[in-house]
Amino acid sequence: MQKEKLRAIRKQKGYTQQQIADIIATDVSNYSRKESGDVRIFKDEWEKISRFLDLPMEEIYEDDEAKTIIHNPVFNDSPGSYATGSVTNFNGEVSLSIIKNLQEYIELLKDEVKKLKEGKK
């Protein structure tokens, strides 16, 4: 779900995605995915953004749809466990934090692969 209120207010106040990304300590491509609704904006990030924009969080906040799905046959690789290959329901801040970190790490890896490919040309 796109964050239309956030995007509109950010643009109205004249801020770039890079400036907001710096506030929540992420790269601009990850912030762009957050604003477009592909990556979740966490509560602490909403709070930092609202303070930066000098607005109550309620004026910019838009709920996330739960659409994070991980397909990984070895997600739980402890001895004797069997993963079904699809994990679709996570509860709790710890699990969400792990997912967020993994998504950011994947993006860093993708960027690194892209740079390496460009270097070979």
Residue keyed to tokens 């994990």 = 87
Same domain as 95, residue 55 = no
**DSSP class of 65:** P
* Res 119: pLDDT: 80
Q: What is the pLDDT of residue 98?
A: 78
Residue 70 confidence class, pLDDT cut points 50, 70, 90 = very low
- How many structural domains are present in the chain? 2
CATH of residue 53: 1.10.260.40
Average pLDDT over residues 32-55: 92
Is residue 67 in some structural domain? no
Two structure tokens written together for 46: 């909403």
- Structure-derived torsion over alpha carbons of residues 62, 65, 66, 67, reported in degrees to the nearest 10: -130
Rg of the chain over Cα atoms, rounded to whole angstroms, equals: 17
Domain that holds residue 108: 91-120
pLDDT at 81 over 60: no
Cα 90 from Cα 115, distance rounded (Å): 33
Whether 84 is covered by a domain: the verdict is no
Statement: the pTM of the whole predicted model exceeds 0.85: no
pLDDT of residue 93: 59
Q: How far apart are CA 29 and CA 10, in angstroms?
A: 16
Residues 53 and 12 in one domain: yes
Q: How many CB atoms lie within 10 A of CB 19?
A: 14
